[in-house]
Amino acid sequence: MIPREHLTGLILAGGRASRMQPTVAGSAPSGRLVRHGPRGGLSPEMPAANSGIVPIEKGLALLHDEPLVAHARRFLQGQVSRVVISANRSVDAFARYGEVITDDAEIGPDAGPLAGIYSALVRIDTPWLVVTPVDVINPPEDLVPRLADAIARKVAQAAYATTTRSHPLCMMVHADLAPSLRSYLLGGDRKVMLWLERIGAVSAPFDMGEHAFANINTLADLQHAQIRGAADTV
């Protein structure tokens, strides 16, 4: 078992969330689902674009009166020694929930989630990094120990979750792999699974349905999760 003090948790929140963006201001199902504010409305930290289209930062969208990034932080806390957040916009807003790491300038803009992982690997002071996307709303409670167990059993430097399919962004990776990832990114590659295969990452199987790694991609997904959560409390 990898001790907690050897683990840093990374929340991936640096994506563009292009599938969540409304095309017309006010077209989202509900303001409280769109942008983080003190009462679930529009936050003054995230001003609307001059075009009138309301930009949405996925990690700050509210689910059950909390931004998604707060749910992700709560999941990781207690299992790791420190939580950091990969974000490239709304940095001050994300900083409420943990230390923010922006993508390394050497890698270039919009290089995908691996850029966020690389930027964290070169900044952490622990041997291991545990990664989870901000929009995975129901990760298995034993995600971290199962990843660590897969690494220990197969003497690997990285592991990722699988159910009936792979969930490569739910991973644990050793800091020594930073140079490999840097070379991969500078070579123009971006595919997460391809990099994991190249470094000999092992799978950590989870015998449960896909709901265990359900993620929020659209405003409809977010609204459905909100309604489902409300029904569960009745």
Residue 227: the pLDDT is 82
The band of 130, judged by pLDDT with boundaries at 50, 70 and 90, is very high
For residues 176 and 53, the model is more confident at 176
Say what the pLDDT of residue 20 is: 65
Q: Find out whether 137 and 68 touch, Cβ atoms under 8 Å.
A: yes
3-state secondary structure 121-133: HCCCCCCEEEEEE
- Indicate the range of 17-21, 92-96, 118-122 predicted with least confidence: 17-21
Confidence of residue 166 (pLDDT cuts 50, 70, 90): very high
pLDDT score of 36: 40
If one counts every other C-beta atom within 10 angstroms of the C-beta of residue 223, the result is 16
Q: What is the pTM of this model?
A: 0.85
| Nearest-10 crossing angle of helices 178-186, 113-121 | 140
> pLDDT, tens digit, for every residue of 2-54?
999 999 999 999 876 555 656 544 444 333 434 444 333 333 344 444 444 55
**Mean pLDDT (whole number) for 195-219:** 91
- Three-state helix/strand/coil letters over 57-69: CHHHCEECCEEHH
User: Mind listing the domains of the chain with CATH numbers?
Assistant: 4-16+71-232 (3.90.550.10)
Report the b/e string of 45-67 with b at 16+ CB within 10 A: bbeeeeeeebbbbbbbbbbeeeb
pLDDT of residue 127: 99
Distance of alpha carbon 6 from alpha carbon 147, whole angstroms: 14
Please give the pLDDT value at position 31. 35
Asked whether residue 55 carries a pLDDT value surpassing 60, the answer given is yes
pLDDT of 230 higher than 90: no
Residue 17: predicted pLDDT: 59
Q: Is 26 left (phi over 0), alpha (psi -120 to 50) or beta?
A: left
